[in-house]
Chains A and B, each alone.
Chain A
Amino acid sequence: MSIGVAKYIRDEQDRILKVILESGIEVKPFYTPKDLEEIGFNYEKDLGDPGEFPFTRSIHPGGYRTRAWTTRQYTGFGTPKETNERFKLMLAQGQTGLNVAFDLPTQMGLDSDDPLAEGEVGRVGMAVDTLRDFEIAFEGIPLDKIGTSLTINAIASVMLAMYQVVAEKYGYSPNSISATPQNDILKEMIGRGMWIFPVEPSIKLIGDVIEYSMKVMPKTSPVSVCGYHIRESGATPAQEIAYAFQIANTYIEEVVRRGYHVDEFAWGITFNFNIYGNLWEQVAKFRAARKLWAKILKERWGAKEKRTMFLRGLFGGGGSGLTKEQPILNVVRGAYYALAAALGGAQTTALCSYDEAYTIPTPYSALISLRTLQILMEEIGLRDTVDPLAGSYFIETLTKQMEEKILEEMEEIERIGGMKVAVETGYVQRKVAYQAYQFQKALERGDYVKVGVNKYTDAGPLGEEGQVQLHQYDPKVAEEQIKRLNEVRRTRNYRDVTKSLHELKQAAKMGKNVMPYVVEAVRAYATVGEITEVFKEVYGVFKEPPIF
């Protein structure tokens, strides 16, 4: 059975004869207690009460009764000052966490005046060159109360160091701050493309960040493994979870190899999963994932503490489900995707904005997303009871089938030598890209329905771009950013900079944990480009495997 494309087989009278989900699971017309019997359903073993192993229902006993989800819209554009203003706007509107978007030069470790950064400075996120930019972006934000996701990977070490130093400057001790650098390089190599260094040293850097956070910033979650982008790149929901777990296992292995036990650090490895697609498949995916992760930690890694076994993370986004056609309909799609996240028990969430296919969100579209999440949580009853779909013949059967599918996909990766090999050789990249191609062809053939795209395509008054205000990119952003960078370069103590960079290079060469050295370089106002250059000299750069 081919996977990656949901199938609905119908007869001439449009009666549905057969339903196959993207992950390759066939759905029956109805389910009965016999189905539960067939899968050997056992409440204690398969579900347990909320807050009890294997945590299928929830990692917390009270679910949303105790605590509603954290809302964290992805925000950041232009200069640090504009980003700071948008942070404050979203917090004033009831958002409960921050999620920082960086521009592409920053994500690639380039200074704003690098020739390769031309035209990109501040375009899709905030530009950061030195600590000065963080001082501006986080001015007036209560860093001991607000948790911050930093969407940065190849140079997560640098941004986390900046976050620590800026917090200290504003009077917050490192052990009071809670950051989540994304810090997941393997998925960048599969999907999002913001990689710099080769696989081995990249994993080593991730290990450094985990080890350092454990000791210095114990409230910080040093990794957010993103099945999200792997799914966006063409993976099925089952592959999304399977690949993310194999990536997480790779990082855990790196830290365990250094002599630590999972109970010391693995609670800080969190996840970011996607929410678009078939509603039931999503809910079953989250339930199965919570259960499997707990079992992996307990059985494979020997976790003793409950919190080590918790699958924590952000379930949200939904970008690839949104359409360019009739864009206002994405508001509706987003609400249903968010419902899937809530029924799946997301602790943290965010929603792509309806204009995502055109532009980075304007205040208007970002607020609609935030309000959608607030309506779900506060208006229609999603906080009433934990895991409301539990016990459904269908959902429990599907959850079990998803669990099996995820395990199959994980085994496939094991067979070819683990995730490191799968990424280095391009195996996963080719697999998901080819699935994405099949998915696109099926969409164009109309094998599955996408409203406004291959059915009900007459937009009528719904229009297309008419509904979207484009976020205007201001080229002055780059000028202003480069001016500030030059000012910092003029006023910083150059001897401190060269000394700190030299020490960083020595540490990297000797294979020491580089984090304390990155912190010192950041404190001396070394630039993102200067620090990245040191890493490039020592580690080299990743070479992308071919797709054919």
Chain B
Amino acid sequence: MEAKMEGRKIKVLIAKPGLDGHDKGAKIVAYALKEAGMDVIYTGLHQTIDQIVSTAIQEDVDVIGLSILSGAHIPICEKLMKQLKQEGLEDRIVVVGGVIPKEDIPKLKAIGVKEVFPGGTPLEQIIAFIKENAPRRQLK
């Protein structure tokens, strides 16, 4: 079944911010979302927040999924959320996966991250969450 809402598929940007080069998880999630019927764009490695935000604008994505395994998730997400706000993209949802200690999950949510999927989260759970929570946006 295709993940359609009001005429368009859910469009997801999977991004690898910062310097961390571990992209297995990001690629696995990208394949899973694609197979679940979503439009998926994978940025590749070593993306700056500027690059991620401008790809999000260009591609008009609904969801931004960040994969972070270096431990730098808090400063990265703070920066991203700030910039999304500046660009008027607050209606998009941001989710984060990777090596995220439990105690950091509430901190990330306080910054504005919609959901956190630490390593080991079943793919079905990620797919279901995105289907349920992707913003209902009309075609431009």
Contacts and interface: CB of A to CB of B under 8 A. Distances in A.
17 contacts: A104-B18, A104-B20, A116-B18, A116-B48, A188-B21, A193-B23, A195-B21, A324-B118, A357-B119, A359-B71, A433-B24, A433-B28, A436-B24, A436-B28, A437-B32, A440-B123, A453-B120
Among A105, A470, A547, the one with the most B-chain Cβ atoms within 10 Å of its Cβ is A547
A224 B29 CA distance: 30
Nearest to A193: B21
Interface string B70-93: 111001100000000000000000
A544 B23 CA distance: 12
Interface residues of A, number: 43
B7 interface: no
Contacts of B75: 118-119
Contacts of B101: 358-359, 465, 470
Interface stretch (B37-45, B58-66, B131-139): B37-45
Nearest to A475: B75
Contacts of A233: 24
Nearest to A115: B48
Interface of B: 16, 18-24, 27-28, 30-32, 34, 40, 42, 44-46, 48, 70-72, 75-76, 99, 101-102, 118-120, 122-124
Given A124-B70, A548-B42, A119 B21 contact: no
Contact of A437 (B27, B72, B119, B122): B27
Given A233-B24, A437-B28, A473 B71 contact: yes
A434 B48 CA distance: 26
Contacts of B119: 324, 357
B120 A324 contact: yes
The 4 closest A-B pairs by CB, nearest first: A193-B21, A104-B19, A119-B75, A544-B44
A465 B105 CA distance: 14
A434 B35 CA distance: 12
B22 A193 contact: yes
B22 to A, nearest CB: 7
A436 B28 CA distance: 7
Nearest to A454: B122
Contacts of B71: 123-124, 359, 473
A120 B18 contact: yes
Contact of A436 (B21, B27, B45, B102): B27
A104 B70 contact: yes
Nearest to B119: A324
A547 B46 contact: no
A546 B101 CA distance: 30
B70 A465 contact: no
Contacts of B99: 357-358
Contacts of B120: 323-325, 357, 453
A444 interface: yes
Contacts of A304: none
A130 to B, nearest CB: 19
A424 to B, nearest CB: 14
A119 B122 contact: no
Contacts of A191: 24
A414 B46 CA distance: 30
Contacts of A436: 24, 27-28
Given A123-B70, A124-B70, A105 B19 contact: yes
B18 A232 contact: no
Given A124-B71, A232-B24, A324-B120, A547 B30 contact: yes
B57 to A, nearest CB: 20
B31 A434 contact: yes
Contacts of B76: 119
Nearest to B18: A120
A437 B48 contact: no
Interface string A291-326: 000000000000000000000000000000001110
A323 B16 CA distance: 22
A189 to B, nearest CB: 10
Interface string A188-227: 1001111100000000000000000000000000000000
B21 A192 contact: yes
A108 interface: yes
Contacts of B44: 544, 546
B48 to A, nearest CB: 7
Given A433-B28, A440-B28, A441-B123, A548 B21 contact: no
Nearest to B74: A119
B71 to A, nearest CB: 5
A147 interface: no
Interface string A171-196: 00000000000000000100111110
Contacts of A107: 19
A234 interface: yes
A119 B80 CA distance: 14
A289 B34 CA distance: 37
Given A193-B21, A544-B44, A123 B31 contact: no
Given A123-B71, A358-B99, A444-B124, A193 B28 contact: no
Given A105-B19, A192-B22, A358-B99, A123 B123 contact: no
